[in-house]
Structure 1
Amino acid sequence: MPDASSCPPSSSSSSSSSSASDAGPPVPPALWRDADFRRLWVGQTASQLGEHSSLVILPLIAVLTLDAGAGRVGVLRAVGQAPILLLSLLVGAWVDRWRTRTVMVLADLGRALALGAAALAGLLGGLGLPALLVVAFTVGALSVFFDVAYQASLVRLVERDRLTRATSAIEGSRSAAQIVGPALGGALVSLLSAPIAAASCALSFAGSFLSIRRIRRRESIPKRSERAPRVWRRIHEGLRFVVGDPSLRTVGLASAAFQFSFAATMTGYLLFLPRELHLSGGAVGLTLAATGPGALLGSLLAARLPSRFGHGAVLVSAAALGDGVMLCVPALRGPSVVTIPSLVAVNFVFGTFSQLVNVTVTAVRQAVTPDGMHGRVAATITFVGMGASPLGSLLGGFLAGEWGLRTSLLVTAAGMMLSPALMALSPLARLGRELP
């Protein structure tokens, strides 16, 4: 169940995903004539592409430039994901009291500087693993701030009667970036070299900074008279609401199962392609890029299938197909003329059904969340869904070192199937064509 993160070919689930599932017409023209909304959408899209590209670029720098093994790649990915576990709940409470535009531009600026410094150090031959770990943690921490802030910003920026369509557009681009970003990162590394790819990623954050800082509408935010204990009470309210709602509780648990196993799978996957299948950098980029067209198809399907077959049925079947296809990867062997088309097909299917899950699950989350709770619910599901990712990355590196890449990849890919199983056994599977 993709989302709250990144997919082997890219990623995905529950912290959010797009609501294109209101299965309605495209975003009304009146919304696109709103200059501030356009600036937010452009900036958020550029930021998400940069964020999810960096999830592949930084590990590939370690593999291709520093010759890091499975254990070190696992540690690097875990360090980059640790801020989700450490900061999500606090950031969700804090952002409600800050101007989201300020949070977003500072997060973009910080990530652009961090990746730019990494690129420069890589070109000069002075980038080592400790510095790369610092960059990964910095980018991960600032991404938590940005991701929570843009969701709160949308509610403050867009009028209520246009909020559903605005959310569909914003979350649609985020979900697509989750799928396309890792593929783009792999392609950039193969075509431009790892340090130049990092510099390109920094430019993406710089573009987001320039777009979002042009937002002119002032936000109304609560007075900052609340004391620290109130922050913890607000966190508790978000946790209690998610735990108390059967659909949201299942979304969080299924997302956690997926993201844990996916993080472990991704660690081995980035090593499996060049070292076990002996694919060149260009071939790796080509196979990862196949998730992009799949994501586009998934977005189109998400606008039609839930209203025809029911949201629950679509969620369970799409998650089972998207996660299950990854079991084919460890079975691949032989010359590249066979493995490359097979990987392209696998990644295309994965991208299609991952995007379908992302879009549908966000529609469910938005439908059952009351006004005033969206920021905390999104942060809570991100925390629950993505919080175990660092442990998954560490496990993936450990298993790859102990069992070998092929066996560890089979085991971790099989673990991803726990996500659709949890959804199938929950009330989420019984959601019909109309959401509550």
Structure 2
Amino acid sequence: MTASAPPPPGLWRDGDFRRLWTGHSASQLGAQACQVILPLIAVVALNAGTQQIGVLRAVQQAPILLLSLFVGAWVDRRRARTVMVLADVGRTVALAVIPVAYLLGMLDVPLLLLVAFLVGSLTVYFGVAYQTSLVRLVERGRLAYGNSALEASRSAAQIAGPALGGALVSLLTAPIAITASAFLFALSVLSIRRIRRPERLPGPAVRQARVWRQIQEGLRLVAGDGSLRAVAVSSALFQFSFAAVMTVYLLFLPRTLHLPGAAVGLVLAAMGPGALVGSLLSARLPSRYGHGVVLVTAAALADSVLLCVPALHGSSAVTIAALMAVDFLFGVFSQLVDVTVVTVRQAITPIPIQGRVVATINFVGMGLTPLGSLLGGYLAGTLGLRTSLLLTTAAQMLSPLFMALSPLARLGRDLPRTTSDADA
């Protein structure tokens, strides 16, 4: 990774990259707002219980386990930008169902679960496609800069998304507030459709190969490369426990600390500025101290700061400030890990197989998140929110521990290339 923080001027002068960045930013903002609003619809508008919240989050995350491997192979055979457009069209329509059903008096938990599953499924398609699209749009030497720009916009979305979601829930009620996410997904469609440059598609051999064979190629590459395998396993350990944490956390804030919707949005939004700082640091620290040192240290610090949350009480300004400080620090360190991991993966993965490797790592790394969400809901209902939050945040430390014992810890300033693009 290079030492310069911002993308080179030539990349920003590229109109097609700007359109990708704009569409991606709008989509990320819509997704971040949606993550806050959907659970609040269940909690506030439908008075859902702790286990129902766990089921809701699990249903939204289940497509990662069910679809990731297929989607990875499928995207590698098609135009990634077309997949992104269709995914956001689908998310726009699915979310528009919620306010209509609410106004007609037909909104209930089963309908919310159906919408959550549809949105989660389309999010899998968009997530694989946008990472594949970047590799097809910019040169390999600019990937670090492109990733930094896209992750910085994701950080900005983390600032504005939860705050926007929480504020709109307070002003418009949660079922109506979800229209903001639908609008942002529609804006993403308009921007990405305007990209003019043809995609660099893989050759006929890749497009005509059997889907299962392509899935196996992605699995073999991840399983056979020590660094990619470590990324997948450490991600699985983190995502499983983090899914449990967030299920409890979204209940802990309004029900134990008695924070209103706007305060919940403000607290969650604090991750955004931290993530923005983490994105900027990711362009400097790995090239100075080594990718392995940065990954292990940042992961340990990110997971450690959340251990402070269960000790907080009340809804005073001091409590809100403490929560915002914790979320800010978590945003810094977790984003530093995320960007560094993406750069490691992209650097050692051939372009024709990028989608399958993304999908394989998502499948292994995030496939257990539905179970984590269910576990969070179960623990919250049986042990109480405070005890459950302490246990689930402590479990997150397994991820940096595994990183420290894996080949990731030995990655230096320069990343290895395990295969050439031609090999795929």
How high is the TM-score relative to the length of structure 2?
0.92
1: CA distance, partners of 2:177 / 2:373: 22
Give unmatched runs, 5+ long, in structure 2.
Answer: 417-424
Q: Write the mapping of 1:43-58 to structure 2, written as runs, cut at 5 A.
A: 43-58=23-38
2: CA distance, partners of 1:323 / 1:179: 20
Distance 1:225 1:378, change over 3 A: closer
2: CA distance, partners of 1:257 / 1:269: 18
Is the Cα contact below 8 Å between 2:64 and 2:121 reproduced in 1? yes
Distance 1:123 1:236, change over 3 A: same
Instruction: Indicate which of 405, 415, 420 corresponds to 1:435.
Output: 415
Partner of 2:233: 253
Q: Write the mapping of 1:144-223 to structure 2, written as runs, cut at 5 A.
A: 144-160=124-140, 162-174=142-154, 177=157, 181-182=161-162, 184-219=164-199, 221=201
Q: How many aligned residue pairs are there?
A: 416
* Deviation (angstroms), 1:224: 7.3
Is the Cα contact below 8 Å between 1:276 and 1:405 reproduced in 2? yes
Instruction: Indicate which of 376, 380, 400 corresponds to 2:356.
Output: 376
Q: Write the mapping of 1:302-321 to structure 2, written as runs, cut at 5 A.
A: 302-321=282-301
Partner of 1:331: 311
Partner of 1:389: 369
Distance 1:261 1:50, change over 3 A: same
Q: Which amino acid aligns with 1:96?
A: D
Distance 1:96 1:328, change over 3 A: same
Distance 1:228 1:307, change over 3 A: closer
Is the Cα contact below 8 Å between 2:77 and 2:207 reproduced in 1? no
2: CA distance, partners of 1:322 / 1:345: 12
Instruction: Indicate which of 4, 15, 28 corresponds to 1:35.
Output: 15
Identity of aligned residues (%): 69
- CA deviations 1:253-305 (Å, max 9, x no partner) are 11111111111111111111111111122221221121121112212222222
Is the Cα contact below 8 Å between 1:307 and 1:433 reproduced in 2? yes
2: CA distance, partners of 1:191 / 1:402: 33
- CA deviations 1:223-270 (Å, max 9, x no partner) are 778899721111111111111111111111111111111111111111
Helix, strand or coil for the counterpart of 2:178?
Answer: helix
Distance 1:123 1:347, change over 3 A: farther
Is residue 2:81 matched to residue 1:101?
yes
Distance 1:42 1:408, change over 3 A: same
Partner of 1:113: 93
Q: Which amino acid aligns with 2:83?
A: V
1: CA distance, partners of 2:335 / 2:163: 14
Partner of 2:421: none
1: CA distance, partners of 2:116 / 2:365: 20
Q: Which deviates further from its counterpart, 210-219 or 82-91?
A: 210-219
Distance 1:162 1:51, change over 3 A: same
2: CA distance, partners of 1:49 / 1:394: 26
Q: Which deviates further from its counterpart, 163-172 or 97-106?
A: 163-172
* Deviation (angstroms), 1:350: 0.9
Is the Cα contact below 8 Å between 1:179 and 1:351 reproduced in 2? no
How high is the TM-score relative to the length of structure 1?
0.90
1: CA distance, partners of 2:165 / 2:330: 17
Is residue 2:111 matched to residue 1:131?
yes
Q: Which deviates further from its counterpart, 60-69 or 210-219?
A: 210-219
Q: Write the mapping of 1:276-315 to structure 2, written as runs, cut at 5 A.
A: 276-315=256-295
Is the Cα contact below 8 Å between 1:115 and 1:199 reproduced in 2? yes
2: CA distance, partners of 1:53 / 1:239: 33
Partner of 2:422: none
1: CA distance, partners of 2:306 / 2:178: 27
Helix, strand or coil for the counterpart of 1:333?
Answer: coil
Q: Which deviates further from its counterpart, 45-54 or 135-144?
A: 45-54
* Deviation (angstroms), 1:26: 2.3
- CA deviations 1:385-421 (Å, max 9, x no partner) are 1100000000100110011111111111111111111
Is the Cα contact below 8 Å between 1:187 and 1:288 reproduced in 2? no
* Deviation (angstroms), 1:197: 2.2
Is the Cα contact below 8 Å between 2:62 and 2:370 reproduced in 1? yes
* Deviation (angstroms), 1:160: 4.9
Is the Cα contact below 8 Å between 1:272 and 1:406 reproduced in 2? yes
Q: Which amino acid aligns with 1:249?
A: R
Partner of 2:345: 365
Q: Which amino acid aligns with 1:77?
A: R
Partner of 1:401: 381
Q: Which amino acid aligns with 1:286?
A: L
Instruction: Indicate which of 24, 36, 39 corresponds to 2:4.
Output: 24
Instruction: Indicate which of 251, 269, 283 corresponds to 1:271.
Output: 251
Is residue 2:339 matched to residue 1:341?
no
Distance 1:184 1:351, change over 3 A: farther
Runs of 4+ in 1 over 6 A off after TM superposition: 223-229
Q: Which amino acid aligns with 1:26?
A: P
1: CA distance, partners of 2:168 / 2:271: 15
